[in-house]
Amino acid sequence: MEGRSVYRRGRMAGCRLRRLSLGMRFGDAERLPETRTLALAVRRNRLIPICLPPPVGPRPEKLPAKLPAVEEQPVTTPWYAIENAAEVPSPALLIYPERVEENLRRMIAMSGGVAGLRPHVKTHKLPQIVAMKLGAGIEKFKASTIAEAEMTAAAGGRDILIAYQCVGPGAHRLARLIQTFPKTHFSALVDNGGTLAELSAAAVAAGVEMTLYLDLNVGMNRTGIEPGDEAVELYRELTRTGGIRVGGLHAYDGHLHNPDSAQLAADAAEVRDRVSEFIGRLRDEGLEIPRLIAGGTPTSPLWAAHGKQELRDRYGIELDVEVGAGTTTLWDFGQAAESTDQDYLNAAVLMARVISRPTRDRICLDLGHKAVAPEMPQPRVRWFTLEDAEALLQNEEHLVLRTERADEYPVGTVVYGIPRHICPTVALQSEVVCVRDARAVENWPVVARARRITI
């Protein structure tokens, strides 16, 4: 990739391309002051530096009228590039702890403090990020599997909601979690009498107390009971079932993800109205509601901003409201496209290599759908510097891209990209690569991608 071609594509603003001698090898780049490279391209077995676009901000729609000459633009290392890429087998998922920490700060600010925040661990499944959350003052955790809950407890989490229905053997596994980690408070969801009876039996048999939240179906029609008469009765049942303590209500509105923020706000307000009304009704029945846990990533800011206040204003009810954003920890381009009002940093980047160039205009990367979440349509990854490339074919260990610039990506070239959906992408990795100061420094096993750790 020559400066010319980059320049032509209008992405060199703010960069100066220094003349680096071709033929440099890995390590050389580090020794060049102020000239830390980039993605390095291998051409004829030699490494050449590629000037990559600035890390943030959308690609400009049009070329500015006048760009500085290429020669005047400083070379900057893009934030995601690592200097020791040659040592890192691909495909790999790189995690940038400083960016995670910044996202945690923004999440805390969004929810108005740690008291209102219960972020989901399913996104990362990593004890190291649980530790970062604890370090940031976050004390409440949401999990979707017994294994995620166990990982979180082992990493020091003391308040963990399994936002899931523990059915079948799940009831006994939940009881064993409670027995195994006596310092941690576990809770789970329930939306029907049968499951409640099984959980109660498991709790009583194990001599433990289970905290359960009534799971409300607020329009997603995935799980939960509709906020109505039956739900009032089931909630009342919770209060008098042996071995069970009432946690409160869980209202997940995952069906709300309209990128039009005005429409999203209107839809979310409607859901809040239904939930508030139901809470008012429970209160009128003399039932106590310790807490409301609500919202997914798109609606969390709205719940945080209005949930508690509306309950106070309309019903005079003081209630703890917690939001459960998750993807915000690592962020991805699918969530960014849906939640246009939210501002988080990409803290997880896929790294791949060109392994073949089967035709003039095709490159094949070693990034198959066993390494990136494939439940979404293509593109499943947005590759930096390859924004023009079209994904033609993805198999288990291969991704074929078509680009007229294939000759700029010889076999061996390292490329970086943002996945569309980070949560299941993490679950496809046996370990992720922790990056500090532009270097891969250690591997972190993705502990909770297992469905069973010890329990």
Which residues within the stretch 363-392 sit at the binding site for a second copy (CB under 8 A)?
Answer: 364, 366, 369-371, 373-375, 392
Write the DSSP string, 3-67. Answer: HHHHHHTT--TT-------TTB-TTHHHHSTT----EEEEETTEEEEEPPPPSSSPPPSS--S--
Angle at 414 between CA 411 and CA 418, to 5 degrees: 130
Q: Which of residues 193-232 bind a second copy (CB under 8 A)?
A: 194-195, 197-198, 215, 217, 220-225
Residue 358 found at the interface with a second copy (CB under 8 A)? yes
- Residue 306 backbone phi and psi in degrees, to 5: -120, -25
Residues with Cβ within 8 Å of 93's Cβ and at least 6 positions away in sequence, in order, are 348, 349, 350, 351, 371, 425, 426, 429, 432, 433
Residue 341 found at the interface with a second copy (CB under 8 A)? no
User: CB neighbours (10 Å) of residue 154?
Assistant: 17
Q: Which of residues 26-45 bind a second copy (CB under 8 A)?
A: 42, 44-45
- 215 vs 267, beta carbon nearer a second copy: 215
Give min distance, CB of 59 to a second copy, in A. 28
Please name every residue paired with 394 in a beta bridge, in sequence order, or none if there are none: 399
Give CA separation, 245 vs 139, 166, 215, 239, in Å.
Answer: 20, 15, 14, 7
- 113 vs 168, beta carbon nearer a second copy: 168
The contact mask relative to a second copy for 118-157 (x = CB under 8 A, - = no) is ----x---------------------xxx-----------
Residue 192 found at the interface with a second copy (CB under 8 A)? yes
- 88 vs 129, beta carbon nearer a second copy: 88
Is residue 395 within 8 Å of 339, Cβ to Cβ? Answer: no
Residue 411 found at the interface with a second copy (CB under 8 A)? yes
Residue 357 found at the interface with a second copy (CB under 8 A)? yes
- 270 vs 397, beta carbon nearer a second copy: 397
Give the span between the Cα atoms of 440 and 37, in whole angstroms.
15
- 305 vs 427, beta carbon nearer a second copy: 427
- 215 vs 310, beta carbon nearer a second copy: 215
In 3D, which of 113, 133, 110 has the Cα closest to residue 303? 110
Give min distance, CB of 34 to a second copy, in A. 27
Structure tokens of 439? 């270097």
Residue 395 found at the interface with a second copy (CB under 8 A)? yes
Residue 237 found at the interface with a second copy (CB under 8 A)? no
Residues with Cβ within 8 Å of 149's Cβ and at least 6 positions away in sequence, in order, are 143, 160, 162, 177, 186
Burial of residue 115 (number of CB atoms within 10 Å: 0-12, 13-18, 19+): middle
Structure tokens of 454? 């010890």
The contact mask relative to a second copy for 291-330 (x = CB under 8 A, - = no) is ----------------------------------------
Place of tokens 């329009």: 219
Give min distance, CB of 10 to a second copy, in A. 30
- 257 vs 306, beta carbon nearer a second copy: 257
Kindly tell me which residue out of 133, 140, 272, 353 binds a second copy, with binding defined by CB under 8 A.
Answer: 353
Give min distance, CB of 106 to a second copy, in A. 23
- Residue 349 backbone phi and psi in degrees, to 5: -135, 135
Give min distance, CB of 314 to a second copy, in A. 27
Give the span between the Cα atoms of 268 and 48, in whole angstroms.
51
Please name every residue paired with 48 in a beta bridge, in sequence order, or none if there are none: 41
> Strand locations in 217-342, DSSP E?
244-251, 291-294, 320-323
Half-sphere exposure of 332 (CA within 13 A, CB side): 25
- 87 vs 285, beta carbon nearer a second copy: 87
Give min distance, CB of 252 to a second copy, in A. 10
Residue 47 found at the interface with a second copy (CB under 8 A)? no
Report how many residues bind a second copy under the rule CB under 8 A: 74
The contact mask relative to a second copy for 68-107 (x = CB under 8 A, - = no) is ------------------xxxxxx----------------
Give min distance, CB of 397 to a second copy, in A. 5
Give min distance, CB of 423 to a second copy, in A. 6
